[in-house]
């Protein structure tokens, strides 16, 4: 995994391919590599959909190895949603397979002069780029099916749906799971629109003939991996709650905390929460799909297995188990408590290639604008279908909550840097509010998941309702997350890593054994800081200031029921997050 595969989609005479060694980027992987390449090579003021932007797809440092949980793929670019740097990541199979093929990154550059769609097929022998306009406006499911019929079922796919082709700022990039379904998405920031702007519909990856990546010190690696797995199994969240109920285990927890944004962030508790909780969902999935339907991994090597499969009442496959964020965005945030409707929308989002968080937030704003009543599931389904068709309303929604709010003159628009907030109200989880406000990514829970100490008592406890201690919490988590995102590890390992020093050490031991290094915990911190530094510098060069590190005004003015409090962390403290 020491090669960068550069594909110039705008080369004279058609796309050109070259591979080059990592060079200056040696030692970087995942988000570390995507953010390094974007911050070094993309002009900060370029148009995100123009030829100067680059789409960087990078497996993590441990992807392609036998390390458990190492299957995350990072996707980076200048975001058409935020105008800043973006790293979105996804599970599924592609990361491990790209790692085994030896690619530390694929970089899509330039753009075709004509409106032509391409597929890129990568195997151990070659990189083949073919025009294929028959894929035009196909959903991700049909696209993958077509690739399967052409290239067999041992492949993995990275693809975009109609939303990416239409260059919508909420367009995602789909990665196929173990069943070769396009269910794992690099969702946020419109990365799919950038792939669409490069004219690339699908990247087919075939690692046939390649082996697992080999560590420098196989024995030490094996031992560390064993300790790693044991640590993850031991922790209550990664060993029990997530396998049993998936991410949606959070619905009841967050709702009880009064932090569950309901009806476009108008209140913090949803009366229909129990109807869409993880517990209800798991029971329904197991009843319809058979015992175990609710516990499934998104990629080989996953031992948490927080996913599952959602079937309709006739036992027919609908979608993968909708995640907590999706159940919230299309559920409580729109006043909808119908799991079947939510799963149907999840399938549509996956098929069109849409970020479920951004789309649910956009529909919430549209409901606030009076386009439908909160709670009207059929109206929400219809709106998502409009996005897939690219109708005028669909174009608006497909560009996210900020554009929808602007288009309809709505003040209550829950975004930071143009990106919609996830499923935790920053007034009642003030630590996540600090992360939303300050992360380089626009509102993003995964960038520094303060819900840990604020609500879950993981990695310590910080009172969620008070401003004190939130800046330090969000700072430390943002640094740690940036480092984790470089490894290819699923972020859920953080629960065990934060609570169990020996599990954190096992991770460091694995990296050291794999690369023949002797990193310490401090080195990991430095890695995280260096990634954030690259990202902050890009954003500053793109015109971002401290004024962009703010929540919308209404979070400071409108008290959220039931706790009736506002966001209280002062601006001056927000400005200290990156003062380490």
Residues that bind a second copy (CB under 8 A): 43-47, 49-50, 52, 80, 166-169, 193, 196-197, 391-393, 395-396, 399, 403, 406-409, 411, 541-543, 545-548, 550, 552-554
Q: Among residues 168 and 224, whose Cβ is nearest to a second copy? A: 168
Q: Among residues 6 and 550, whose Cβ is nearest to a second copy? A: 550
Q: Among residues 47 and 300, whose Cβ is nearest to a second copy? A: 47
Q: Among residues 27 and 390, whose Cβ is nearest to a second copy? A: 390
Q: Among residues 440 and 446, whose Cβ is nearest to a second copy? A: 440
8 Å CB contact between 180 and 188: no
Residue 396: CB minimum distance to a second copy, A: 6
Q: Among residues 117 and 490, whose Cβ is nearest to a second copy? A: 117
Locate tokens 């030692």: which residue?
27
Residue 170: CB minimum distance to a second copy, A: 11
Residue 91: CB minimum distance to a second copy, A: 27
Cα–Cα dist 298/513, whole Å? 26
Residue 56 C-alpha from the chain's centroid:
15
Residue 10: CB minimum distance to a second copy, A: 13
Cite the DSSP H helix spans in 15-112: 30-41, 94-101
Residue 203: CB minimum distance to a second copy, A: 21
List Cβ neighbours of 212 (8 Å cut-off, separation of 6 or more).
Answer: 64, 65, 66, 100
> Among 104, 125, 116, which Cα is nearest to 57's?
104
The counts of H helices and E strands in the chain are: 24, 16
Cite the DSSP H helix spans in 390-500: 392-398, 400-407, 430-438, 451, 470-487, 493-499
DSSP 246-304: -GGGHHHHHHHTT---BTTTTBS--TTGGGGSHHHHHHHHHHHH-TTTT-B-SSTT-SS
Residue 395: CB minimum distance to a second copy, A: 5
Cα–Cα dist 311/343, whole Å? 9
8 Å CB contact between 68 and 402: no
Cα–Cα dist 377/331, whole Å? 9
Q: Among residues 12 and 522, whose Cβ is nearest to a second copy? A: 12
Residue 399: CB minimum distance to a second copy, A: 5
Residue 548: CB minimum distance to a second copy, A: 6
Q: Among residues 407 and 446, whose Cβ is nearest to a second copy? A: 407
């Amino acid at each position: 995994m020491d090669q960068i595969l550069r594909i110039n989609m705008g080369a004279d005479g058609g796309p050109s391919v070259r591979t080059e060694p990592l060079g200056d980027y040696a030692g970087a992987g995942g988000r570390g590599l995507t953010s390094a390449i974007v911050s070094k090579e993309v002009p900060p003021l370029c148009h995100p959909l123009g030829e100067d932007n680059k789409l960087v797809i990078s497996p993590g440092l441990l992807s392609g190895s036998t390390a458990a949980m190492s299957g995350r793929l990072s996707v980076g670019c200048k975001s058409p949603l935020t105008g800043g740097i973006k790293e979105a990541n996804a599970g599924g199979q592609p990361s491990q397979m790209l790692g085994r093929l030896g690619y530390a990154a694929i970089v899509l550059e330039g753009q075709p002069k004509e409106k032509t769609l391409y597929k890129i097929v990568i195997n151990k022998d070659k990189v083949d780029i073919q025009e294929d306009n028959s894929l035009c406006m196909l959903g991700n499911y049909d696209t993958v099916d077509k690739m399967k019929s052409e290239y067999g079922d041992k492949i993995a796919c990275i693809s975009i749906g109609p939303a990416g082709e239409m260059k919508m700022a909420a367009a995602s990039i789909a990665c196929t799971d173990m069943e070769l379904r396009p269910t794992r998405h690099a969702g946020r920031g419109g990365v799919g629109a950038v792939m669409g702007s490069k004219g690339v519909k699908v990247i087919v990856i075939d690692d046939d003939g390649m082996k697992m990546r080999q560590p420098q010190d196989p024995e030490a690696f094996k031992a560390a991996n064993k300790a790693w797995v044991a640590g993850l199994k031991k922790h209550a969240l990664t060993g029990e709650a997530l396998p049993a109920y998936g991410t949606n285990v959070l619905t009841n927890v967050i709702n009880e905390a009064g932090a569950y944004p309901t009806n476009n962030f108008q209140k913090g508790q949803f009366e229909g929460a129990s109807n869409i909780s993880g517990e209800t969902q798991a029971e329904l999935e197991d009843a319809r799909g058979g015992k175990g339907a609710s516990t499934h991994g998104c990629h080989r090597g996953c031992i948490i297995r927080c996913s599952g499969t959602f079937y309709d009442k006739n036992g027919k496959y609908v979608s993968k188990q909708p995640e907590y964020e999706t159940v919230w965005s299309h559920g409580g945030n729109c006043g909808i408590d119908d799991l079947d409707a939510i799963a149907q929308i999840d399938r549509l989002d996956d098929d069109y290639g849409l970020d479920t968080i951004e789309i649910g937030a956009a529909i919430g704003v549209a409901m606030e604008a009076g386009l439908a009543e909160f709670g009207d599931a059929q109206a929400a389904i219809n709106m998502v279908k409009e996005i897939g068709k690219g109708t005028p309303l669909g174009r608006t929604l497909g560009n996210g909550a900020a554009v929808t709010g602007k288009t309809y003159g709505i003040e209550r628009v829950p975004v930071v840097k143009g990106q919609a907030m996830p499923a935790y109200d920053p007034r009642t989880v003030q630590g996540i509010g600090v992360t939303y406000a300050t992360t380089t990514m626009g509102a993003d829970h995964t960038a520094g998941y303060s819900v840990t100490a604020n609500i879950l008592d993981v990695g310590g406890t910080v009172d969620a309702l008070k401003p004190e201690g939130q800046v330090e919490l969000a700072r430390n988590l943002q640094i740690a997350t940036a480092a984790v995102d470089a490894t290819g590890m699923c972020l859920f390992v953080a629960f065990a890593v934060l609570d169990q020093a020996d599990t954190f050490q096992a991770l460091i031991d694995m990296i050291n054994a794999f690369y023949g290094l002797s990193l310490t915990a401090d080195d990991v911190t430095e890695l995280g800081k260096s990634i954030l530094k690259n990202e902050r510098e890009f954003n500053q060069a793109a015109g971002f200031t401290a004024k962009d590190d703010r929540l919308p005004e209404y979070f400071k003015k409108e008290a959220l029921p039931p706790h009736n409090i506002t966001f209280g962390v002062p601006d001056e403290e927000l400005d200290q997050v990156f003062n380490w």
